Structure 1
């Protein structure tokens, strides 16, 4: 494994990038394919389908557990935490056409206002031009969302939503892109969920629900303690 640290925005927020984490992603893709088709998640703004992982999923859950164990030292070092709890995990695939996105799906988002709520994203497939990007909202200057600025961010996002078309893949009238992580097979990116972020979904990327064809990732969320 080869870790490196990216600092994004005026807040100098850490984003950890770790390459060559497990080696055999083909075996994990096989596990995901055996669970397909994935369902849409009710109440979620995720623009696609997800298969939530539980201990009953055996080898797939074991892979996710091993993944977190492998990157745990980098989480502790970058975010200065002594430990964490696994909150949620899933195999995920972006499948929604740009023209079918809801207003909230066209803009960068945040996962939680708690800086201890951390996302661990594992790219399992090669999707050229894809990745994860981080943003600053132009109207408010917000990069990191907290309890004090959340309402201002949401109000500005509602005003700007009609100006956004399709996926946000770069700077636009409403958001400045302040950092980019390129998708790469067997790469893990780790960041605080309070950072404004969005998946980079290029126009020619297959929006397939087939784990062997589309943008398959493992999305894990942990709570630092």
Structure 2
């Protein structure tokens, strides 16, 4: 496994890139092929399924070492983790699903995305909100950010149907990290981000053909 620590945008938030993350990615794909996927909750635009119990037991020690890049050295607690596949048609996305988002507002919360499509597929993009200049949204910025965003949407209209790609009138793309088979990314959940879903993405819910990932939300320290 190789580990690189880079930064995102002007705020220089850490981005940890772990290649060859899992010892047997093919076995994970086989497990996903037999898993029971159901519609996801919490605005995720697709389906999710349970992970094999061995996944977290094997990977948590690796994650615990990597999160030192965030200045966190306490125990790693799993808030949520699952196989995930982006599968919602572009014209069926809610307004929230058409925008970059944050997953939590505190420094202890770290997001993991682990890519399990052999062809690589779509990666993850990070954004800056043009009106505020925010690349991250913590508890202190939360009200201001959402007030601005609500005003922009009420007066300028909702973004058109489709996954956010590249620069938009409201957001500037500041980094796009490509997917690679068995690559994992770790970043703070307060980073504005979105899946970099291409216009030609299949959006298949079949784990053998779709954008199969593991997504997890962790609390550290």
Calculate the TM-score normalised by the size of structure 1.
Answer: 0.90
Superposition pairs for residues 80-99 of structure 1, below 5 Å? 80-99=72-91
Paired residue for 2:13? 13
Structure 1 residue 75, shift from structure 2 partner: 1.2
Paired with 1:23 and 1:169, the residues of 2 have a C-alpha distance of 32
Match of 1:195 among 191, 196, 200: 191
Secondary structure of 1:91 counterpart: strand
1:203 CA drift (Å): 1.4
Distance across 2 between alignment mates of 1:94 and 1:68: 24
What is the number of equivalent residue pairs in this alignment?
A: 217
In structure 2, the partner of 1:221 is 217
Q: In the TM superposition, what are the counterparts of 1:6-85 in structure 2 within 5 Å?
A: 6-36=6-36, 38-42=37-41, 44-53=42-51, 60-85=52-77
Query: Which runs of 5 or more residues in structure 2 are unaligned?
Result: none
Can you give the 5+ residue segments of structure 1 that lack an aligned partner in the other structure?
54-59
Q: Aligned equivalents of 1:28 and 1:52: distance in 2?
A: 11
Is contact 1:76-1:82 (8 Å) kept?
no
TM-score w.r.t. length of structure 2: 0.92
Who is 1:210 aligned against?
A: 206
What secondary structure does 1:162 align onto?
coil
Q: Is the 8 A contact 2:77 2:220 kept in 1?
A: yes
RMSD: 1.6
How far has the Cα of 1:175 moved from its partner?
0.3
1:152 corresponding residue in structure 2 = 144
Q: In 2, Cα distance between the equivalents of 1:22 and 1:205?
A: 25
1:103 aligns with 2:91: no
Who is 1:137 aligned against? 129
Q: Give the Å deviation of 1:169.
A: 1.8
Q: CA deviation at 1:104?
A: 0.3
State the partner residue of 1:57. none
Distance across 1 between alignment mates of 2:188 and 2:12:
12
Provide Cα deviations, 1:37-68, integer angstroms capped at 9, x if missing partner. Answer: x11134x1100111244xxxxxx121233122
1:148 is paired with a residue whose SS is helix
